[in-house]
C-alpha cells in the first residue's frame, strides 16, 4: 500500500497545478481581451 500515497500526491499536485493554470489563463484572457478586440473585433475567445 506504499504506492497509494504516491498516487494521491500526484493527483493533488495535478489538481493544484490545473487550478493555478486556470486562474492564470483567466487573468491573461481578461488582459488580452481588449487587445484582441482592438485588432479582431469579430473574433471571440472560446474555451
At 11-23, the pLDDT tens digits run: 999 999 888 888 8
- Which triple of cell numbers denotes residue 44? 471571440
pTM of the complete model beyond 0.75:
no
Contact between 9 and 18 under an 8 Å Cβ cutoff? The reply is no
| CA separation for the pair 44, 25 (Å, rounded) | 15
- Which triple of cell numbers denotes residue 17? 497545478
pLDDT band for position 32 (50/70/90)?
Answer: low
Contact between 43 and 36 under an 8 Å Cβ cutoff? The reply is yes
Integer distance in angstroms from the first to the last C-alpha of the chain? Answer: 39
- Which triple of cell numbers denotes residue 23? 486562474
Domain positions in the chain are 1-25
Amino acid at each position: 500500500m506504499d504506492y497509494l500515497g504516491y498516487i494521491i500526491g500526484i493527483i493533488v499536485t495535478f489538481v493544484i497545478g490545473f487550478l493555478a493554470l486556470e486562474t492564470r489563463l483567466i487573468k491573461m484572457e481578461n488582459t488580452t481581451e481588449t487587445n484582441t478586440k482592438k485588432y479582431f473585433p469579430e473574433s471571440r475567445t472560446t474555451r
